[in-house]
Amino acid sequence: MVSTRHHPREFPSPERAAKELVKSPPATTNANSRKWTHTPAAALTIWLIFSVPLVLWDASYVLLRPHSMPGGRLHSPVFAPYALYGTIDYIYGWPAFNARNGFTAAQTIMNLIETIGYIWYLSIVYLYGSTVVSGRGSQQGSKGFLWLLKGNKVVAGRIGALALLVAYTASIMTLSKTILYWLNEVFSGFDNIGHNDPLALILYWIIPNGAWIIFPSYNIYFLGGEILSSLELATPRQKVGRPKST
């Protein structure tokens, strides 16, 4: 039998080893040591570049009523399409305005809050984003409008994480508000759109408003998946306690 008298210390018991393992900080892996990056999807940035100007145009029409409505001094040519849309959806037309319906302006204010978040997100992606080069990681390079439409870009560090959180939150706001917009019609007996024939309703109301359900849902799925993956790989945040008195 081999003697262990000269071993510097006794081997710890299994119970003691387990306690020491729990107390010791987790080892840093290669995945955690790399700087975290957010990867903006090309579909997300394309949708925002398309939708943000439309939302700002829509908000301008609502907040400038009645001057932006048919017969108003600001109506033509900027807001001329609303002459038709106001007859499709009365919430944008004279019936709701004359009835002092506050839902139109209230949802517009929420639109602007979401849009501020989206504009901030696009600004962060443009200012702090880097192009991913195959085999060479990410690097700064020339940027332009078309650069935002590409998918081979990342935003690293805390600013990238914050941008991801803002875009995810704004997308949930957009989807929730759009569903509320639809439910308002359902529970009011289609008071604002029930006068349309099926073809006009599909072309001028369901398809345009449906886009603000489909694309935000995709954004939530994509961004939420990225958040979930990051949480699965993250180490628990250590609580900072008071030092023990001796």
pLDDT tens digit sequence for 65-85: 999 999 999 999 999 999 999
User: Which pLDDT value is given to residue 146?
Assistant: 82
Query: Residue 98 falls within a domain, yes or no?
Result: yes
User: Which pLDDT value is given to residue 80?
Assistant: 97
SS3 193: coil
Query: Residue 152 falls within a domain, yes or no?
Result: yes
Global pTM value:
0.79
Whole-number Å distance between alpha carbons of 77 and 82: 10
Query: Residue 237 falls within a domain, yes or no?
Result: no
User: Which pLDDT value is given to residue 4?
Assistant: 47
The number of angstroms, rounded, from the C-alpha of 52 to the middle of its chain's C-alpha atoms is 13
User: Which pLDDT value is given to residue 46?
Assistant: 93
Whole-number Å distance between alpha carbons of 216 and 208: 13
Query: Residue 15 falls within a domain, yes or no?
Result: no
Query: Residue 16 falls within a domain, yes or no?
Result: no
Query: Residue 196 falls within a domain, yes or no?
Result: yes
Query: Residue 210 falls within a domain, yes or no?
Result: yes
154's enclosing H/E stretch is: strand 153-156
Residues of the chain falling short of pLDDT 50: 1-9, 11-33
**Eight-class DSSP state of 27:** P
Long-range contacts of 191-195 (CB under 8 A, 24+ apart): 191/90, 192/89, 192/90, 192/91, 192/95, 192/96, 193/88, 193/89, 193/90, 195/90
How many domains are contained in the chain? Answer: 1
Query: Residue 245 falls within a domain, yes or no?
Result: no
Give yes or no for a contact between 182 and 210, defined as CB atoms under 8 angstroms apart: no
User: Which pLDDT value is given to residue 35?
Assistant: 74
Give yes or no for a contact between 81 and 93, defined as CB atoms under 8 angstroms apart: no
Domain that holds residue 102: 35-232
For residue range 92-109, what is the model confidence (pLDDT) as tens digits?
A: 999 999 999 999 999 999
User: Which pLDDT value is given to residue 15?
Assistant: 45
